[in-house]
């Protein structure tokens, strides 16, 4: 699954916000004593923190993979341009050689003894 733009960031924000809202609603409607509610809230917060940390690590791995792909693509692009430049240089050189071969040699004229 690929995320465009900041989709991963939006997901993580929504995930965290939903967790906090759920915990708050749970506290309000819990028929438990305050200590139990605090313990449950702490446990849920730790779980939520662990899930957010896992999601962040997953996003970092995806980003590293994307960076690697971009880097490889750039290197391939550079190599392709370099190869194209070499091919163009070869074509230019061949044209230059052909041009020199096709040029007629200047005609040698006999010099008359007068001009010497």
pLDDT at 76: 83
pTM of the model: 0.42
Whether residue 107 lies inside any domain: the answer is no
- Asked if residue 60 has pLDDT above 70, the reply is yes
What are the distances in angstroms from CA 44 to CA 20, 33, 49, 55, 62? Answer: 9, 17, 8, 16, 27
Highest mean pLDDT range out of 2-6, 11-15, 84-88, 104-108?
A: 11-15
Whether residue 4 lies inside any domain: the answer is no
Cβ atoms < 10 Å from Cβ of 48: 17
> What is the total count of domains within the chain?
1
Mean pLDDT across the chain, nearest whole number? 76
Whether residue 3 lies inside any domain: the answer is no
pLDDT at 38: 80
Whether residue 116 lies inside any domain: the answer is no
| Residue scoring higher pLDDT (111 or 100) | 100
Whether residue 110 lies inside any domain: the answer is no
Confidence band for 113, pLDDT divided at 50, 70 and 90: low
Whether residue 84 lies inside any domain: the answer is yes
**Residue ranges making up the domain that contains 53:** 12-98
Quote the percentage of the chain above a pLDDT of 70: 72
- Asked if residue 116 has pLDDT above 60, the reply is no
pLDDT in tens, 12-21: 888 888 888 8
Whether residue 51 lies inside any domain: the answer is yes
Whether residue 55 lies inside any domain: the answer is yes
- Over residues 74-78, the mean pLDDT reads 82
Taking the C-alpha atoms of residue 16 and residue 45, their distance in angstroms, rounded to an integer, is: 10
């Amino acid at each position: 699954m690929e995320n465009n733009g900041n989709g991963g960031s939006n997901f993580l924000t929504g995930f965290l916000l939903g967790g906090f809202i759920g915990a708050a609603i749970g506290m309000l409607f819990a028929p438990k004593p305050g200590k139990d509610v605090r313990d449950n809230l702490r446990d849920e917060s730790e779980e939520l923190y662990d899930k957010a940390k896992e999601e962040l690590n997953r996003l970092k791995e995806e980003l590293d993979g994307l960076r690697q792909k971009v880097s490889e693509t750039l290197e391939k692009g550079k190599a392709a341009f370099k190869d194209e430049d070499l091919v163009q240089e070869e074509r230019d050189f061949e044209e230059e050689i052909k041009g020199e071969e096709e040029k007629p040699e200047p005609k040698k004229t006999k010099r008359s003894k007068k001009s010497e």
